[in-house]
Amino acid sequence: MLRFIAISLLFTIVFAQTPVHQLMKVKVLVEHYFEHKALDEGIDFIDFLTMHYADDTKHGDYDRDMQLPFKQCNHAPLMVFTFFEQKDFSIKQKPVFIFEEQVLTGYQSPYYAAEALSNIWQPPRA
C-alpha cells in the first residue's frame, strides 16, 4: 500500500510540475495533421509543424491550433518541499569593541625630521 501511495504521489508531481502532460495531447496533433492532410494533399508533417509552431499567423482554425501540445504555456503552481534541520544557537559572549581615543595635536617631534627619514635611502658613504 505504501508503494502505491509513493508511486501515485510521484506521478502527481511529475504530471503537475513538468510538461509531460503536454505529451498527452499528441493524439490531437495527429488528428489535426490529418485534418490538414484532407484539405491539402501536398502538405507533409514538417510543413504542418512549421505552419503551426514557426509561424505566428492566426488561421481560421485558431481555437483548434491552441489545443496542440506545447502551444500554450501552462504554469502550474510550483510545489516545493523543503526539509531542513533547525539548529538553535546562541551567542555566548557578546563582542566587545574597544575604541581608543587619540588626541591629535599640531606638535611635531624633532626626531622625525624629513632629512633623517630620507637618509636611509642614500648610498653608503666611504
Using one digit for the tens of pLDDT, what is the confidence trace for 2-61?
A: 899 999 988 888 777 667 777 788 899 999 999 999 998 999 999 999 988 888 788 888
What is residue 126's three-state secondary structure?
coil
Place of cell 508511486: 7
Q: Domain for residue 37, yes or no?
A: yes
Counting the structural domains of the chain, the total is: 1
- The pLDDT, as a whole number, for residue 93 is 74
Q: Domain for residue 100, yes or no?
A: no
**Cα–Cα distance list, 20 to 14, 23, 72 (Å):** 7, 5, 13
Evaluate whether 65 touches 59 at the Cβ level (below 8 Å).
yes
Backbone angles phi, psi at 94, to 5 degrees: -75, 140
Q: Which of 21, 68, 75 is nearest to 49 (CA)?
A: 68
Instruction: Please provide the average confidence, as pLDDT, over all residues in the chain.
Output: 78
Q: Is residue 122 scored above 80 in pLDDT?
A: no
Q: Is residue 102 scored above 60 in pLDDT?
A: yes
Evaluate whether 33 touches 45 at the Cβ level (below 8 Å).
yes
Q: Domain for residue 126, yes or no?
A: no
Show the domain range for 12: 2-65
Q: Domain for residue 24, yes or no?
A: yes
Q: Domain for residue 50, yes or no?
A: yes
Q: Domain for residue 38, yes or no?
A: yes
If you average pLDDT over residues 62-75, what whole number do you get?
Answer: 80
**Cα–Cα distance list, 35 to 25, 30, 55 (Å):** 16, 9, 18
- Other CB atoms within 10 Å distance of the CB of residue 68: 19
Q: Domain for residue 73, yes or no?
A: no
Give CA angle at 70 (79, 78), nearest 5°: 10
pLDDT band at 117 (very low <50, low <70, confident <90, very high): low
